[in-house]
Amino acid sequence: MLRFRLLCALGAATAAVAALAPVTAGPTAAAPAAGVSALSKGACGGERPARPGGGRYTCTFEDDFSGTALDRSKWVVQDTSLSGFHAGQSGCYVDDPDNVSVGSGQVFLTSRKEAEPFVCHSPYGDYTSDRTAATIATWGLFAQTYGRFEFRAKLPDTAIQGIHSALWLYPQKFTYGAWPNSGEIDVAEWFSGGAENVYPSVHYAGEDPWKSTGYNCPMPSAGTQFHRYAVEWTPTSMRFLYDDRVCFTHSWTPAAPLVAPQPFDQPFYVVLTQVFGGGWNAITDQTPTSATTAVDWVRVWK
């Protein structure tokens, strides 16, 4: 059952960000960076974690959400009217302050059941929905191969099924083909129907889902307290750390014709997602009408 729920929820999240490619993010979106080298002194909170192989990481990207609005030089917002993808359960991704907002040093991503049904505009055909959702990503603005990617976040405070949150990484280009061939890295994926756990996963063609997902990463206070969720990505393995404790490690063996480190030898961008659930974690009559993931900061090192 756990395998089924992960794959069902993953499908919705994957398609959501795959659809980000058509989003118009402005002139800076044309050339994704391989890592920002000119960050100020004290970047990434002044932290330089130790690399597993020795030495210290160097900060390449950060956002501490210290302003009053999302920094559009770092993030694009998923919008169904531009991308065409709907957010599960016939929902709609919107670029709206009710769903994506910044304040008190945090970014808030909210999925909402709206008071009235509305028309969700899509390039593939408009449809009616009563739910909105939120995804932001560094697509076209920042992407990196290997390094440490970390989030400090508080997930929704509910144990009633129907809510789904994810902090994850996705390939800037589908070098090896459509999902799952070009890979996906879920640093922290959470389902309200199993709120006591957070799941790290590595997805690719040829994976064994029982071995590519971490089942030993309990986080019973994920919805009431901020926690740190990180992955250390090298050419040979992914090491996932929750509150600096290693809870899952995976070395991948992709299906032929790929050979490791493929497909995880390409730049991936950062994604934050808050949606309603599906499959085993589908919406019920008791599902909260809104749910929010709060992210204190995002940091990337190389």
Q: Tens digit of pLDDT per residue, the chain (302 long)? A: 233 233 333 344 444 444 444 333 332 233 333 333 345 556 999 999 999 889 999 999 999 999 999 999 999 999 999 998 888 778 999 999 999 999 999 999 999 999 999 999 999 999 999 999 999 999 999 999 999 999 999 999 999 999 999 999 999 999 999 999 999 999 999 999 999 999 999 999 999 999 999 999 999 999 999 999 999 999 999 999 999 999 999 999 999 999 999 999 999 999 999 999 999 999 999 999 999 999 999 999 99
Q: What is the value of pTM for the model shown?
A: 0.88
Task: Using CB atoms within 10 Å of the CB of residue 300, give its burial: 0 to 12 exposed, 13 to 18 middle, 19+ buried.
Answer: buried
Check whether the bond before 180 is cis (ω within 30° of 0). Answer: yes
- What are 34's two structure tokens? 């391989």
Residue 207 burial (CB count, 10 A)? 19
Give Cα 61 to chain centroid, integer Å: 16
Q: Please say whether the structural domain 2-301 has been given the CATH code 3.90.79.10.
A: no
Q: Alpha-carbon distance 250 to 283, whole Å? A: 32
